[in-house]
């Protein structure tokens, strides 16, 4: 016997943590499998796609079965466990390259592949810079910038988030070439400078796995790899080898500024977006001393117009932006007010939080 009479949720929960990186269609069939190893009362679970590896474990002092290591289809095992009745006790046994799953009067047989063929990621953490930060704090930082990552861009270095450790500060930057999101936080001590680009898939897994707790996530950032330890999970990720754009040059310093209620401007943009061009998603900002007018129209000659009373001391402007980009930035901040800063009719918009240098969001202009 391999694993005997274990609560189904005790198996399902660790499996759910690691399964996010497993895809059914893989170049190597074994990459669709989960690596399961039982040693005494500890059961280890590992999944990898060769770029990222996630591992976790559970301790069950009642397990007296034979120490065994297998790999089996992660998705099939998950689906079987999910549909079992609540409180079910599961027994796993291995016989001639098959995993036998027994629950009450149900029985399932799954194909296994040799555990020695499972391609575990080799740790390369020489001279790593090690930092730690509260999970809930880090999850919020990621949420404030992750939407600006590129998706499958030919400029592969944009398909992720730039981590910058700089003295007492951690900076996170994401850009897709049309907009850039930047967030900074202070660390507990001074660290050597280190910059790495973490892939989009790694960022998405972190957002999924991080929990609302003050428990720390520990980062070890090496030149080619990052290791993250938190909540009984170890996530190892390759970094993207490339030169990230000079984000400091992209962030402007404008004197034409406008403070707005975040919810009011967000709702106005959401209404205007309904009649914007479906392909280009453009809106015009027509800005005068007492009024901000937001205008959108589409190829059917339909138009939306929103007027907001404002107190604005800068130059009059008529400039266009992608409305979805503006909505993304406003949706992922939680403050009551936001600060819009403008250059001229051909310049980007800078969205910040009043009296707060930590967050900056830049959206490039578009011709409408």
CATH code, residues 3-117: 3.10.150.10
- pLDDT at position 256 is 96
- pLDDT at position 44 is 96
What is the reported pTM? 0.94
State the span(s) of the chain assigned CATH 3.10.150.10: 3-117, 129-249, 252-363
Q: What is the pLDDT of residues 188-211, one digit of tens each?
A: 999 999 999 999 999 999 999 999
Q: What values do phi and psi take at 188, rounded to 5?
A: -75, -15
Is residue 84 within 8 Å of 78, Cβ to Cβ?
Answer: no
Number of Cβ within a 10 Å radius of residue 130: 13
Number of Cβ within a 10 Å radius of residue 177: 13
Task: Please name the CATH architecture into which domain 252-363 falls.
Answer: Roll (3.10)
Task: Please name the CATH architecture into which domain 129-249 falls.
Answer: Roll (3.10)
Is residue 312 within 8 Å of 287, Cβ to Cβ?
Answer: yes
- pLDDT at position 12 is 97
Count the alpha carbons within 13 Å of 200 in the hemisphere toward its beta carbon. Answer: 14
Percent of the chain at pLDDT above 90? 92
For the chain, what is the mean pLDDT? 95
Cα 158 to Cα 176: distance, rounded to the nearest angstrom: 6
Q: H/E element holding 361?
A: strand 356-363
Phi-psi region of 246 (alpha: psi -120 to 50; beta: other; left: phi over 0): beta
Number of helical H runs and strand E runs in the chain: 7, 22
Give 1's pLDDT tier (boundaries 50, 70, 90): low
Is residue 309 within 8 Å of 259, Cβ to Cβ?
Answer: no
Q: H/E element holding 250?
A: helix 247-250
- pLDDT at position 13 is 96
What is the average pLDDT across 22-41?
A: 90
């Amino acid at each position: 016997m391999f694993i005997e009479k274990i609560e189904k949720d005790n198996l399902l929960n660790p499996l759910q943590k690691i399964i996010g990186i497993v895809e059914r269609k893989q170049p190597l069939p074994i990459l669709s499998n989960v690596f399961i190893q039982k040693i005494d009362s500890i059961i280890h679970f590992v999944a990898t796609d060769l770029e990222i590896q996630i591992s976790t474990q559970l301790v069950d002092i009642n397990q007296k079965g034979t120490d065994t290591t297998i790999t089996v289809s992660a998705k099939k095992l998950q689906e079987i466990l999910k549909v079992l009745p609540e409180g079910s006790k599961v027994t796993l046994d291995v016989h001639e390259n098959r995993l036998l799953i027994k629950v009450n009067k149900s029985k399932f047989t799954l194909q296994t592949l040799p555990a020695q063929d499972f391609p575990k990621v080799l740790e390369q953490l020489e001279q790593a810079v090690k930092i730690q930060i509260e999970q809930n704090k880090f999850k919020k930082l990621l949420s404030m910038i992750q939407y600006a990552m590129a998706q499958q861009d030919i400029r592969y270095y944009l398909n992720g988030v730039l981590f910058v450790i700089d003295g007492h500060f951690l900076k996170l930057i994401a850009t897709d070439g049309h907009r850039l999101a930047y967030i900074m936080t202070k660390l507990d001590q001074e660290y050597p400078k280190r910059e790495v680009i973490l892939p989009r898939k790694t960022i998405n897994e972190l957002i999924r796995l991080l929990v609302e707790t003050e428990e720390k996530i520990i980062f070890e950032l090496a030149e080619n790899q990052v290791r993250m330890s938190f909540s009984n999970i170890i996530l190892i990720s390759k970094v993207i080898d490339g030169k990230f754009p000079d984000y400091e040059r992209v962030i402007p310093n404008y004197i034409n500024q406008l403070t707005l209620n975040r919810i009011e401007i967000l709702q106005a943009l959401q209404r205007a977006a309904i009649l914007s061009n479906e392909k280009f998603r453009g809106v015009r900002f027509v800005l005068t001393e007492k009024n901000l007018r937001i205008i959108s129209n589409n190829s059917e000659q339909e138009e939306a117009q929103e007027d907001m009373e404002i107190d604005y001391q800068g130059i009059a402007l008529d400039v266009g932006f992608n409305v979805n980009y503006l909505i993304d930035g406003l949706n992922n901040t939680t403050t009551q007010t936001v600060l819009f800063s403008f250059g001229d009719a051909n310049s980007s918009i800078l969205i910040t939080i009043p009296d707060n240098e930590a967050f900056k969001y830049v959206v490039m202009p578009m011709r409408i």
